A and B are shown apart, each in its own frame.
Chain A
Amino acid sequence: MAAFPGGLVWLASYPKSGNTWMRILLANLLSARDEPADINNLSEPQTLMGRWRFADDMLVDPDLLDSRELGVMRPIHCDFAAQDVSHPFFCKTHDQFWSPEGELTLGASARRVLYIIRDPRDVAISFSYHAGLSIDDTITQMVDRNASSTGRAVLPCFMGDWGTHVVGWASQPLIPVMVVRYESMHANTVSCLRSIVDFLGGQADEMEIRRAVAHGSFDELQRQEARKGFREARPGQERFFRTGQAGGWREVLKPHQLRRIEDHFADIMTAYGYEIADRSQAD
């Protein structure tokens, strides 16, 4: 049966980069069952991003804290949770690794980081559907160094801009990190999951990995969402699991949108193998 060492592993990414898909793949790998894991039962109460867990552990309602107090308490909480956990604990986050003041946002006691990166041009399209924003407004958010979000059940999340998000997590020296390209997951999920299991020091045989990939396929996720909905979808959102495409931006983005993204992030995109399309940038 597939197994991982105990401890906290951050599944970190900018929103709409494949984080939920990664969570579902790992949940299927760990559950080792004949039927796919329920997408509506992925251990939400335990997430360190949730208001419930924060209040339960820290004994204070996060609604009664200002951003400075919350900024001091969250790393204390995450470090304690990381040191206290004996089972494998994969926790999704969209927070940046560093705060604007250069402090740790989530502590430094996790044992590993899986950072999922996706072509920001595809992120813009997926994020725009998810947030119900125009693509132009979505890009404005992606280049905003102070961008943040919050929700009814989750703690305020400091995302910042796409590029700082990537660099902050990928180049931090405190927790061993593996950067996983969404496009690679898409192109060869089995081989990608194999290398992730190895990085995490886990054990899983070929059959277990293939079963987890089948149970986490987009067809299966869309089937479950169509039948029962997905509790993490935005209220009113038609579908959370939309297309999962890589490279869709070529048909959707207008030249000025492409230019805006590439103007801001060309260096980081190039470093992670995303070819610059706008001719004026390339020249």
Chain B
Amino acid sequence: MPDIDRPLPYHYRISGLSIGSEFELPMRAPLPTEDFTSTDVVFRLGAVPECLPHISHRGPNWAANERSFLLELPEIGRFLCEEGARLTLCPAPGAFLDDIAVFVTGTAMAAILYQRGAMLLHGSAVVHDGRAFLFCGDSGAGKSTLAAALVQAGASFLADDVCSIDLSDSAVPRAVADGRFLRLYSDSIAQTGLTNALGSRVRRRIDKYHISVGGGPEASIDSAPVAAIYMLAGSHAAAPPGISQLPNLEAAQALLHNSYRRRVALAYAHRGQIPAQTFRLLSSTHVFLLHRAAKFDALDDTVSMIKAHWAGLR
């Protein structure tokens, strides 16, 4: 039977798109089939080629052309993303689907979204008084831990790791949830007091866990207007804790640097027109550099500093 005839038993909503999937995505609640009138993106298991023709961009383990994006993660699997509509996963021998699905909803889904012209930031987001606040930073910068601490201090969780920016309303860019749970290392879970919200491991052999932070006054919303974007940085003698606004050029550079899977964004830059997207985002919101001591015992001080800053942004 050809691949395209096999049924798609699982339905999800990710970053505003309806997904029909041949396989289950862990820690995401499937939506009832009857609620789905159309499918934007199809996830399937199947054969994936080892290379692409007419490559325009490439990296050590990936390649992109006008129509397709191919990613190879040794020991994990190969991922093919086509036309912003079809994602095919070919697991490596011995790989378990529940262990590698995180890469489907991470890099591979990002490629699908970029093929559709999306703008994605590498950051976490929380909502307070109906406004979204984003926290961008490199892997290990503490984005998720800070989001968790802000949720504990009364904000609502919106996004972790990747935050999609909806620019369809030109006046008010909105941060959109992708439906994933917050993910934290066990030491962060203990420090932020979220042990009661502990979910499954993100991967079988990784000490990182899904955290269910469903509470908060705005728990049910899946998007909110972007009020401010913070770039996380450590503090040291020359840069003590504090928040300062970045000039527009530096803000634009910081946004590009913090694009989620920056090189895929650049491969499909013409689809979304990154300069125009950045200009529109910066015309209605500001980007701030947030220096803070990147250690657990300074979290409360950082949360107080951020909440005071929010009050000043009204």
Contact = CB atoms under 8 A, between A and B. Distances in A.
Interface of A: 40, 51-52, 55-66, 68-69, 72-73, 76-77, 79-81, 152-153, 228-229, 231, 235
A231 B263 CA distance: 27
3 shortest interchain CB distances as A-B pairs:
A80-B60, A229-B237, A228-B238
Contacts of A152: 140-141, 294
B59 A64 contact: no
B286 interface: no
B66 interface: no
B71 interface: yes
Given A52-B138, A52-B139, A57-B263, A63 B237 contact: no
A76 B140 contact: no
A63 B186 CA distance: 13
A57 B73 CA distance: 12
Counting chain A CB atoms within 10 Å of each CB, the highest count among B75, B102, B203, B208 belongs to B75
Contacts of B138: 51-52, 55, 153
Interface of B: 59-62, 71, 73-76, 102-103, 106-107, 138-141, 161, 202-203, 205-206, 208, 234, 236-238, 261-264, 294-295
Contact of B208 (A58, A63, A76, A235): A63
B237 A56 contact: no
A69 B107 CA distance: 16
A62 B208 CA distance: 12
A191 to B, nearest CB: 35
Contacts, number: 80
A235 B236 CA distance: 9
Contact of A66 (B103, B203, B262): B203
B74 A51 contact: no
B76 A76 contact: no
B56 to A, nearest CB: 16
Contact of B203 (A51, A64, A73): A64
Contacts of A231: 234, 236
A57 B76 contact: no
A223 B211 CA distance: 46
A211 B313 CA distance: 49
B103 A57 contact: no
A69 B74 contact: yes
A76 to B, nearest CB: 5
7 contacts: A56-B262, A57-B60, A60-B106, A64-B203, A69-B73, A69-B74, A72-B75
Given A64-B102, A73-B74, A79-B60, A56 B263 contact: yes
Contacts of B107: 59-60
B184 to A, nearest CB: 11
Given A76-B60, A229-B238, A62 B74 contact: no
Contacts of B76: 69
B74 A76 contact: yes
